[in-house]
Amino acid sequence: MLLRIENLSKTYPNGTRALDDVSLAIPQGMFGLLGPNGAGKSTLMRILATLQEPDAGSAFLGELSPGAGQGIDVLRDKEALRRTLGYLPQEFGVYPKVSAEDLLDHFAVLKGITGRDERRRLVDALLEQTNLQRDRGKQLGGFSGGMRQRFGIAVALLGNPRLIIVDEPTAGLDPEERVRFLNLLAELGQNSIVILSTHIVDDVSELCSRVAIIDRGRIRLEDDPQAAVTRMQGRIWRRVVARDELPRHQERYAVLSTKLLAGRTVVRVLAPERPEAGYEPAEPGLEDVYFAAMRETHAADAALFAADAKAAAPAFGPAGGAA
């Protein structure tokens, strides 16, 4: 199973370019899409979920076997895609006075599962899979955030989807619910493509076999998370500095991140060798990969802006007038 995304672009009427020539190849399993708020993640997810139209590009969902063809045209054959799609948006509404069992049964009918016995077996299986069996008769208005997210996944799993999209699923969950929810997604990734869109690096660092980093509508990195981290070995350095010393380090070195520790600042720097005395080697993580990709993005944009400004500026003679 493979989802092929080629040259997707989307610009909103206000001029915001949400997606800029995005291309990805997403195999079966857990795929992490990392990026800050406003990077274009939700726009890409809504397009893949057939809820929004791109300005250009294509996307196909199909088998990897020889002779299988291109598969489902995501943008043109929306009904076929929806039959094999499970989508959990960042925010979704429920009827607070309806039980989980009754609402899941209702959604099963909307999905085209009309046989009562078949629906009962399916609802039972999904409530068991999402660990909601004991809460099946409870009104959804009394569910915790994690329980609501697991109910959302139960709805998304109706129809045995081959493509599952979850957008910022762990926002607001407590640590226990977050771990339980991510473990559930990992199980689903054994038989389907699961796209996990998030700005939380820890959500994808250990679960996803592939990760893409998106910023300002462009894919800045696509890689195996562990391979990307391994390539950072020997290049991450750590030092605790006083707050008033921080500007000097930011000016001289490629500072990836800073964190406060007991009133002092922990600085992490990307460098091929020890920046200066006082820095110690640090074990890299996916967060370092993420910040390095973002830093390169902003540096490239700043250089491009400076070049454009220089090209657009008029030439002046020695007296201050135009040459």
Among 158, 192, 223, residue at a domain's last position: 223
Q: How far is CA 127 from the centre of its chain?
A: 26
Structure tokens at 214: 């998106």
Residue 57's region, left for phi above 0, alpha for psi from -120 to 50, else beta, is left
Is 176 a domain residue? yes
Domain check: are 177 and 78 in the same one? yes
| Band of pLDDT at residue 290, cut at 50, 70 and 90 | very high
Q: Which residue has the tokens 């220089």?
A: 310
Residues 270 and 170 grouped into a single domain: no
Is residue 315 situated within a structural domain? no
277: how many CB neighbours lie within 10 A of its CB?
6
Question: Does any domain span residue 323?
Answer: no
* Mean pLDDT (the chain, rounded): 86
Most trustworthy range by pLDDT among 46-50, 112-116, 195-199: 46-50
Give 162's Cβ-side CA count (13 Å radius).
18
User: Would 318 be classed as within a structural domain?
Assistant: no
Whether residues 109 and 250 share a domain: the answer is no
Q: What is the pLDDT of residue 67?
A: 56
Q: Side by side, which strands form the sheet with 163-167?
A: 85-88, 163-167, 193-198, 29-34, 210-215, 218-223
Among 223, 251, 274, give the residue marking a domain's end. Answer: 223
The residue among 166, 167, 173 whose CA lies nearest residue 194 is 166
Using DSSP's 3-state secondary structure scheme, residue 322 falls into: strand
pTM (2 d.p.): 0.82
Range of the domain at 276: 230-310
Confidence of residue 320 (pLDDT cuts 50, 70, 90): very low
Same domain, 186 and 273: no
Domain count, the chain: 2
Handedness of CA 159, 164, 168, 173 (dihedral sign): positive
Same domain, 9 and 135: yes
Q: Give the pLDDT confidence score for residue 317 in this predicted structure.
A: 44
Beta-strand ranges (E) seen in 177-289 are 193-198, 210-215, 218-223, 236-241, 254-261, 264-270, 280-281
Beta pairing, strands 210-215 & 218-223 = antiparallel
Q: Residue range 31-60: average pLDDT?
A: 94
